[in-house]
Structures are given as C-alpha cells and as structure tokens.
Structure 1
Amino acid sequence: MNRNIFALTLLIILSAAARFIPHGYNFTPIAGMALIGGAYYHKKFFAFLVPLLTLYATDFVLNNTLYRSFFPDQEGIIFFSSFMLYTYVGTAAIVLIGMGLLKKVTAPRLLGSAVFSSILFFLITNFGTWASGMMYPKTGAGLAAAYTAGIPFLSGHLISNIVFSFLLFSAYELIIKRNLSTVSRMHL
C-alpha cells in the first residue's frame, strides 16, 4: 500500500476516536473524514469505504454501549438502526463533495466544502427524521418542524466540520511533506 494512502487511512481511523471523547452535540470528525477521503483517495471505492466503515465501527461500539438506552425495544447486539441510513447517505454525499469540489485543495475551497457539507448533511438527516414518521407528522408542517428542531444541532456540526476538516487536511499535508523531505534527503 502506498505510504500516502496508508497515512490517509490511519489519519481517518485515528480521528474517529474523537467520537469516544465527550463532546458537544454533533461536534465530531465524521464530515471532515468524508471530505478528506473524497479529496485524496484516487480509488472511489476507498473514498467511500474507509469513512463509512470507520463511521459504522464507531456507531457499532457507541450504539451497544453509551447509546444503548436509545434502543429499549431491541434485544441483543445492535448492528444497524433505521436512523443510521440517512446519516450514511449524508456522509456518502460529503464524500462526493470532497471528490467534486476538492480536486484542488485550497483554504477557500475547503471552507466552502465544509460549509456546504454541513448544510447538505443537515437537510438529508432531518429529512430522514421526518420521513421515519416517528417524531413528526408526514406533512409540510411536520417537515418544517423537523428542520426547525434540527437547527440547534447544525451549529455544532458546522463548527466541527470546519475545525476537523482543516485539522485533518493540515495534518495530512504535514505528513506528506515530511515524507517527501525524508525521501529527498535520502537521495542526496
């Protein structure tokens, strides 16, 4: 495996550990992981697989430990829950944003991609909450109520997406530049 791909994969996996540290609502690295995967994996399969599999692994642990009380009707191990579907669709959409908007990574493009990702994720996941029919009536007013109720969670997601995106992209660039300088010195 190419060292850059190994470093990228390791960075995504390690950043997912932030989900296990106490944090504010939606202040997690997931969107940043999806953006960097979309931007830097040359094979589309890995661009989707690594962030989504990492998200699933952390969801699996969290749903069966910390969030277990949210599943009172489910016995045994929780492998998947219906609410996760829209989260994964939203995350896959963020990978696509990374692929499309970050072919050339610049600070303004990264900022724009992080903001756009947050808004799109908000729209997808709150639509999913409404579509499930469990919390809101399936009416226009119900959809408006779902989006209104989601607004307090948007700010945490937006801020974390910007912070983690810049941290992940900066860390990756530092790793790559360090590897390149090491290779250059070895050839002198």
Structure 2
Amino acid sequence: MNIKNIILKKNDNIVNELLFLTMFVLIGIMGRTILVGWNLQPFPNFEIIMVLTFVAAIFIRPAFAFLVPLIAMIGSDLLIGNPIFIGSQMNKIILFTYTGFLMISFISTIMKKQSKSKLNQLNGINIIKIVGMGVGFVLLYDLWTNFGWWYLMFPHTLGTLSAVYVAGIPFMIYHMLSAAFTFTFIVLPLSYFVFNKKNQPIETTFKAWERIPVIAITLLLLFLSFTGTAMQIPKETDIWLENSDETSISFTICGSNWGFHDNICVQGEITVLNALNTIINQHDISFESEYYETFQSTIINKIHIDSNGVDDKYWQFYVNGELSMVSCDTFMIENGDMVEWIFEPVLSLN
C-alpha cells in the first residue's frame, strides 16, 4: 500500500469517527431530553449516556470518545433546564456528574482491546462479562456522584457519608437495571451487526497522547468539583449597612403562583433558617420544617401553600444567586446578602 492510500485510509477513518461522534452526541442529547426532560423514563434512573460513553470508547479514538458524554450532558442539560451555572459559579454537582462519565470514558478506553475481543466473540460468558461491566460502570458512577452530594451538602462525617450511600441504594439499583438493559439491548446487537454483518474491524490501537485530552479535562473538572469556579460576588448592595453591627438581608420567596420580596435587618449573625422564620412571621404565613438527625440538617418541607414533592418541586435556597450546598440551619448570612427561597424541580443527575 503506497503512502497516498495510507493517508486516504486515515482520512476515511477520521471522517467515520467524526460521523460516529456526531451520531452518538445527538442520540445522547435527544435521548436524555426525551427520557428525563419529558419524564418518559420507564423507571427511575433509566438513562442512555452511560452506554453511549462505552460504545463511543469502542468505536472512536480516545481524543474524540470523551466528547460524547461531555457534549451530550451539556446539550441535554441546556434543553432540560438544569443549571450549569448558578450566578457566576459553575454548579458543582454538575461537575461531579460530568467527571463521573469522563472517568467511565477513560476506563472504557483503557479496556478497549479486552472489550472488543469479548464483543467480537459473543457467547454466554462474554455477554455476562459485558453486561456486568456496564453494571460496574454504573456502580462506580453512583458511588462518585453520591460522594459529591455528601461532600457538597452534608457535614463531613463517616455517619453522614454512610447515610447518603444507604439513602441512595434504591436509585443505584434502578440505575444498575438501566445499565443491564441498555448494555444488553444496545451494545450487544450493535456489536453483532458491526462484527458479523458488516465484517467491520474496529481499530484498538492508538497513540498514547490521544489519552491526554480526556485525562486533562477530567482532572480539571475534578479540581473544580472541589474548589468551584466562582468569582467573588459584590456584597455592597442597596441593602448594605456599612460600619454596622446589624445584618441587612434582601429576602425573596418564590412559590408556585405567589411570592414576595422584602428587606430585613437583624442584630448580629443569623442563619438562613432564622432569617426565614423572621420573614415568615412578618408576612403572617406559615412554614414546616423537619430536622434529620442522620444528615444533621434541617429540611424545609412547606412554605405557605407549597409542599415538597408536589409536581416534583421542592424548596431550595440561593444566596447571592448561588444554589446552597449547606443546610439552611448552618448557613450563616452576612451583611448585604441576597437570599432566595424558590419552589422548583430539583436538579436531575440522569
């Protein structure tokens, strides 16, 4: 084979991989939007991004493959309405979900040769191994994202960490069922078609440098998951009380079809929960809360007429435009802070 033919073959391979990349990304964006955004999941935590992450690693070089889960998640988050940025800060739990899929992408590229060998010779044992691999990926992903919830939202104790993992078991089981289903009915038929019907070999060799992008992006997002990307939000607002021992707060509550805004002024330091109690009493409405000893956190279950869980909406609070990852009974408000309680759907991780 002369040099010209070699170059043409390489160009054809790149074009084919870019076509695969585009196809997988579009399937991921539309699939997740339909399943999660339109609430059409056959059961909780049913998703297709995980299986697409694995398939992309099999069919596409690492430098391209990691883009599939990353672009698919970003694109579908934008369509679904999941907040990638909250104020000037990138949503940290979003970073945990993105890095979870990127870690799976990296592991899949490392195991590409072994996976391709199993898919090329489908038998009972290899089918079990491939499906088991998918379940293992989900288990690793859920362990990581649940760790993220604990790290961002709860006191850093072994007790709360174990409580978060125990609370997440039902969702992990559903997610593993999702992996078993998608790896059985997507990976296996697709591989059989490519290897047997099309007799199309899949290149398993690649240059070491092709792993650099996925490693670099994953490490960057891992770093940001723990540190955040926020710029300092100015505190000198119209409610700022300079050289004062008092704390002035801008307080907004947005319910399902009601809401109000007010400024309150209190002596000394105050938590978000204390501020809520103050503003509620001033406006003569009620709220219900419950303290969870396991998580050492107080949860607001109801404000006025809106209760958690109705229309899949829950009460969440923001301080200076940023979704808080700390319990309302421990978050200390500073002079000039802007607090918002909003009745809204919680962020989806699927």
TM range (shorter): 0.7 to 0.9
| 1:65-104 alignment runs, 5 A limit | 80-104=90-114
1:75-111, CA deviations, whole angstroms, 9 ceiling, x for partnerless residues? 7xx9952211111111111112211234233223322
Cα 1:101–1:112 change in 2 (3 A) is farther
Higher relative contact order (CA 8 A, sep 6+): 1
Q: Look up the match of 2:74.
A: 56
The answer to whether the 8 Å contact 2:48/2:182 transfers is: yes
SS in 1 for 2:184: helix
Q: Name whichever structure is richer in helix by fraction.
A: 1
SS in 1 for 2:46: coil
Cα 1:91–1:37 change in 2 (3 A) is same
Number of matched residues? 169
Alignment gaps of 5+ in structure 1:
182-188
**Separation in 1, partners of 2:140, 2:197:** 34
- Which amino acid is 1:47 matched to? A
> TM-score of the superposition, structure 1-length normalised?
0.76
Cα 1:117–1:39 change in 2 (3 A) is same
Q: Of 130, 141, 154, which aligns to 2:150? A: 130
Q: Structure 1 vs Structure 2: percent identity of aligned residues?
A: 25
Q: Look up the match of 2:23.
A: 10
Q: Of 135, 153, 156, which aligns to 1:115? A: 135
- Which amino acid is 2:23 matched to? L
- Which amino acid is 2:59 matched to? Y
Shift of 1:18: 2.5
Alignment gaps of 5+ in structure 2:
1-13, 119-126, 201-350
SS in 2 for 1:27: coil
Q: Once superposed, which parts of structure 1, at least 4 consecutive aligned residues long, lie more than 4 Å away?
A: 175-181
Shift of 1:13: 2.4
> TM-score of the superposition, structure 2-length normalised?
0.43
The answer to whether the 8 Å contact 1:11/1:168 transfers is: no
Larger Rg: 2
- Which amino acid is 2:96 matched to? Y
Q: Name whichever structure is richer in strand by fraction.
A: 2
**Separation in 2, partners of 1:131, 1:39:** 33
